[in-house]
Structure 1
Amino acid sequence: MSKKKGLSLEEKRTRMMEIFFETKDVFQLKDIEKIAPKTKGITPMSVKEVLQSLVDDGMVDSERVGTSNYFWAFPSKALHARKCKLEELKKQHAEGSQRKTVLQQGIEKAKVGRQETGSRTKLQRMQPTGGQIMFLLSRGGPRENLALRKVELIKRLEYQRILTTLIEVFDQFRKCVVFFCL
């Protein structure tokens, strides 16, 4: 005895779109409610819900003419929607890469005025790298301890970053005080 597994909503949506793309026709709700169970195996009770979700997502067009509602979706519209999405993603990628170059230039400009101090380099050497953190986390022990160790290591890392910043600020303050006292 094999039980038939019901279709997921995503499978129903795909099959419903196949009906529109294969026939390239305009349907009323009652027509789709007849065709979908026979050809694609979508249960009659869920046809209206699936169709409404496709209309809400803009994949199927609908229009009310008189007292009837008509539904349609053509492959050319899906292709056009994909092309528009691709163009939008390309535009976002271009903007992101441009922003990245601007930020990298800003980093380079910020590095120009800074000088490496002994205390700063010493603190940077003390900060654990990602590989060191993963090594410390994987040294064994129960999983609960791993989560606690990870949280503890993240806190330590943040604490070291704060200390580095405070030391730099204190060093700059010390230089200013020495400069103004002279």
Structure 2
Amino acid sequence: MSKKRGLSLEEKREKMLQIFYESQDFFLLKELEKLGPRKGVISQSVKDVIQSLVDDDLVSKDKIGTSVYFWSLPSSAGNQLRNVYHKLESDLQSSKKRLVELVDQCDALKRGREESDEREKALAELKAIEQNYHALKDQMGQYTDNDPAAFDAKKEAIEIAHAAANRWTDNIFTLRQWCSNKFPEAKEQLENMYKEVGITDDFDYLELSAVPLSEAAD
């Protein structure tokens, strides 16, 4: 013998609504949980089913004193269905209106873009202009080094780097002097260490010579 199929949520909702419509009375949740099994709805699922009906405005609830009562009348369901119908009808009309507007916009955009010899010629000219523009832009990029503004920017960057290098050179000289004063007995070891890290006897401040703009551009 095959196992009996359980009720779907929609079927449970219909069964619980029947309880309200047949009695047209007010119920506590615990009363509905007792009545539900008589309609084939297990008591454990009654609360969720009732809440779904409340969410859809098919069942009303109100707190009276310390108790919460539920009720629903056939007329309430009818009113709810009518409200849903009117809303759907309104949404449908709005969608139709929007569709007409979009079709009109599409037609307007198509006007003047019909395939023709003039349009093909104009598109070809536009493409040629774009190609010429990109070619000229590439050529201009080749002359960036001769641009006075670019030269000034490079010159400023060199001056900043030169100042930073000499600042670190000054720091190194200060550190060497401190080491010599602090560890006079380790003079030879310090000199060897300086040479290992590249600080030789010819280590000195950098000099920055002025470069004329004409030479920098060549």
Equivalent in the alignment of 2:16: 16
Per-residue Cα deviation, 1:83-137 (whole angstroms, up to 9, x for no partner): 111111111111111122222222222222123047x9xxxxxxxxxxxxxxxxx
Report deviation, 1:8: 2.3
Structural mapping, 1:161-176, within 5 Å: 171=124, 173-174=126-127
Counterpart Cα distance in 1 of 2:122 and 2:64: 72
Report deviation, 1:69: 1.2
Equivalent in the alignment of 1:143: none
Unmatched runs of 5 consecutive residues or more in structure 1: 121-166, 178-182
User: Equivalent residue of 2:41, what SS?
Assistant: coil
Structural mapping, 1:27-106, within 5 Å: 27-38=27-38, 40-106=39-105
Counterpart Cα distance in 2 of 1:11 and 1:30: 20
Structural mapping, 1:114-129, within 5 Å: 114-117=113-116
- Normalised by the length of structure 1, the TM-score is 0.60
- Larger RCO (CA within 8 A; separation ≥ 6): 1
- Normalised by the length of structure 2, the TM-score is 0.51
Report deviation, 1:172: 5.9
Per-residue Cα deviation, 1:10-67 (whole angstroms, up to 9, x for no partner): 22111111211222211112221222212x1211222223222322333211111112
Counterpart Cα distance in 2 of 1:168 and 1:51: 70
Unmatched runs of 5 consecutive residues or more in structure 2: 131-218
RMSD value, Cα: 2.8
Counterpart Cα distance in 2 of 1:73 and 1:169: 71
User: Equivalent residue of 1:46, what SS?
Assistant: helix
User: Equivalent residue of 1:103, what SS?
Assistant: helix
Report deviation, 1:73: 1.1
User: Equivalent residue of 1:62, what SS?
Assistant: strand
Percent identity between matched residues is 41
User: Equivalent residue of 1:45, what SS?
Assistant: helix
Residues 4 and 25 of structure 1: CA distance in aligned 2, closer, same or farther (over 3 Å):
same
